């Protein structure tokens, strides 16, 4: 066990200390190399030490780090224009994290109805298993008891219906409903993909009732599924979208994107952030976009995804006693275990492969999007050895 630490005890950390990263590899203080299929929880979208990102950060570091939003920040304007150009959005607000992007999204939706003369419309409907962050607002939105317990009354105005339950959703909508908030693929609760048809029905329902559709693409966005944003697979567009994680490639930034209509209430003075959109973050974010929007990048993600899917399907066939199901899209994949996922994860780490636990007894594989087919196969081989280890220890027990 770790000794007493001055750090909050909020994390059950693995006793691994990484000193350096190179592409899909992380290297410990003692020089051991780990293949990183966790990417800092789907954050290091371009892997570790990507030369273009390092260059962008270093160049900006020599110019100016921070000026605040009292002044114009050219990097914000460039970044926002590029995001708007590539998506449904007209307007962008920059944050430092996913939860803050969601806070902005929720405030934007409420403010839209207020602006249109309906201050009573402030309720947001979300789905069981959702994860939207750890602020007081986003734990209320996520609705998970384990994150709400002991933190006082849940922030009002958040209602939850079962995952994928259209009838329950329709029942839950009232005159006070402002918006529906959903992750196109639930990440934390086990890579649960929302069917395309369901997203299309949500869009139609919102249009019919004058509600706003908010997508949380903090984890599924920025190329993770092989499209720039996961909702593109369904052909629909949201009114508001929260983005973070992969958009900064490891630099802590987030963004709330909205249509001009949805953002109409967010006038001067209604919202703000000291650090949000600071020049360092904007330099890195723009550099991430250079790569992700580059020729062939998303096709590469789709191609490597196929290597994974075939390899994982074969593993599932050969290890039905260990692996129950493979889930996900692109490089946002989940392995639902038959055995306790913690046991499988431990064996995986034993093979110097890093993956991320999720709910529903699932292990997440969210490697850097820059991973090659060869590196994917190396990871699959390690996964196979991990499955063998778990099987052997089961036989011995
Ligand atoms: C990680 C995550 C968040 C919260 O992001 P933070 O940067 O930790 O605040 C919100 N929504 C989803 C879907 C996430 O995966």
Residue whose Cα lies nearest atom 5 of ligand 1: it is 98
Atom 10 in ligand 1: residue holding the nearest Cα: 132
For the entire predicted model, the pTM comes to 0.98
Q: What is the pLDDT along the chain (397 residues), one digit of tens a residue?
A: 456 899 999 999 999 999 999 999 999 999 999 999 999 999 999 999 999 999 999 999 999 999 999 999 999 999 999 999 999 999 999 999 999 999 999 999 999 999 999 999 999 999 999 999 999 999 999 999 999 999 999 999 999 999 999 999 999 999 999 999 999 999 999 999 999 999 999 999 999 999 999 999 999 999 999 999 999 999 999 999 999 999 999 999 999 999 999 999 999 999 999 999 999 999 999 999 999 999 999 999 999 999 999 999 999 999 999 999 999 999 999 999 999 999 999 999 999 999 999 999 999 999 999 999 999 999 999 999 999 999 999 888 8
CA of 356 to the centre of ligand 1 (A): 14
Best mutation site among 133, 182, 188 for ligand 1, i.e. most ligand atoms within 8 A of its Cβ? 133
Maximum pairwise Cα distance, the chain: 68
Pocket test for ligand 1, best of 10, 42, 244 (most atoms within 8 A of CB): 244
Residue 317 CA to ligand 1 centre (angstroms): 33
pLDDT in the model for residue 3: 66
Please state whether beta strands 25-28 and 18-22 pair in parallel, antiparallel, or not at all (unpaired): antiparallel
pLDDT (0 to 100) of residue 171:
98
Ligand 1 center to 149 CA (angstroms): 19
Rounded CA-CA distance 6/159 in Å is 37
CATH number of 52-292: 3.40.640.10
pLDDT for 4 equals 85
Distance in Å, CA 295 to ligand 1 centroid: 28
Which residues make Cβ contacts (< 8 Å) with residue 240, sequence separation at least 6? 105, 108, 109, 179, 212, 213, 214, 215, 256, 257, 258, 259, 262, 263
Q: What is the position in ligand 1's atom list of the atom closest to the CA of 97? A: 7
Q: Which of 11, 43, 98, 240 to mutate to test the pocket of ligand 1 (most atoms within 8 A of CB)?
A: 98
**98 C-alpha to ligand 1 centroid (Å):** 4
Atom of ligand 1 nearest to the CA of 41: 1
- Give CA separation, 9 vs 6, 12, 49, 89, in Å: 9, 7, 29, 39
Ligand 1 atom nearest residue 245's Cα: 7
pLDDT for residue 362: 98
Closest CA to 128 of 164, 158, 162: 162
Q: Tell me the CATH number for domain 18-42+296-396.
A: 3.90.1150.10
User: Which residue ranges make up each domain of the chain?
Assistant: 18-42+296-396, 52-292
Pocket test for ligand 1, best of 132, 193, 221, 356 (most atoms within 8 A of CB): 132
Neighbours of 65 (CB within 10 A): 12
Best probe residue, ligand 1, of 44, 131, 134 (max atoms within 8 Å of C-beta): 131
pLDDT in tens, 348-396: 999 999 999 999 999 999 999 999 999 999 999 999 999 999 999 988 8
The binding-site residues of ligand 1, defined as CB within 6 angstroms of any ligand atom, are 97-99, 102, 131-133, 183, 187-188, 216, 218-219, 244-245
> SS3 for 333?
strand
Q: How remote is the CA of residue 388 from the centroid of ligand 1, in Å?
A: 33
CA 209 to centroid of ligand 1, rounded, Å: 28
d(CA 359, ligand 1 centre) in Å: 15
Which residue, among 310, 210, 261, 243, has the nearest Cα to 87 in the 3D structure? 243
Give CA–CA dist 177/125, Å, rounded: 7
């Amino acid at each position: 066990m770790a000794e007493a630490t001055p750090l909050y005890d909020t994390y059950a950390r693995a006793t691994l200390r990484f000193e350096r990263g190179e592409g899909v590899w992380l290297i410990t203080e003692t020089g051991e190399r780990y293949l990183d299929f966790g990417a800092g929880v789907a954050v290091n979208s371009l892997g570790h030490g990507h030369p273009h990102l390092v260059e962008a950060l270093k160049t900006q570091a020599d110019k100016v780090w921070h000026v605040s939003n009292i002044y114009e920040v050219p990097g914000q304007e460039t970044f926002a224009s590029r995001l708007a150009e590539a998506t449904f959005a007209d307007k962008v607000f920059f944050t430092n994290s996913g939860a803050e992007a969601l806070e902005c999204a929720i405030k934007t939706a409420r403010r839209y109805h207020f602006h249109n003369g309906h201050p009573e419309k402030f309720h947001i409907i979300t789905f069981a298993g959702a994860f939207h962050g750890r602020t007081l607002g986003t734990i209320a939105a996520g609705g998970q008891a384990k994150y709400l317990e002991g933190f006082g009354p849940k922030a009002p105005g958040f209602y939850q219906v079962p995952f994928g339950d259209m009838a329950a959703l329709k029942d839950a909508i009232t005159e006070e409903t402002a918006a529906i908030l959903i992750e196109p693929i639930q990440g934390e609760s086990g890579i649960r993909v929302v069917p395309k048809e369901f997203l299309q029905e949500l869009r139609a329902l919102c249009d019919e009732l004058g509600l706003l559709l908010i997508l949380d693409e903090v984890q599924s966005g920025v190329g993770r599924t092989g499209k720039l944003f996961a909702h593109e697979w369904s052909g629909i567009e949201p009114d508001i979208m929260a983005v973070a994680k992969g958009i900064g490639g490891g630099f802590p930034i987030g963004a709330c994107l909205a249509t001009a209509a949805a953002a109409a209430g967010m006038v001067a003075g209604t919202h703000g952030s000291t650090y949000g959109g600071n020049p360092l973050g904007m330099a890195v974010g723009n550099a991430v976009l250079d790569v992700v929007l580059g020729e062939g990048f998303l096709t590469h993600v789709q191609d490597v995804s196929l290597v994974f899917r075939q390899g994982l399907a074969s593993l599932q066939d050969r290890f039905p006693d260990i692996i129950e199901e493979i889930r996900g899209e692109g490089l946002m994949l989940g392995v639902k275990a038959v055995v306790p996922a913690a046991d499988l994860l431990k064996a995986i780490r034993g093979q110097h492969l890093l993956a991320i636990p999720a709910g529903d007894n699932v292990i997440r594989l969210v490697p850097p999007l820059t991973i090659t087919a060869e590196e994917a196969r190396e990871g699959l081989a390690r996964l196979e050895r991990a499955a063998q280890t778990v099987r052997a220890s089961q036989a011995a027990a």
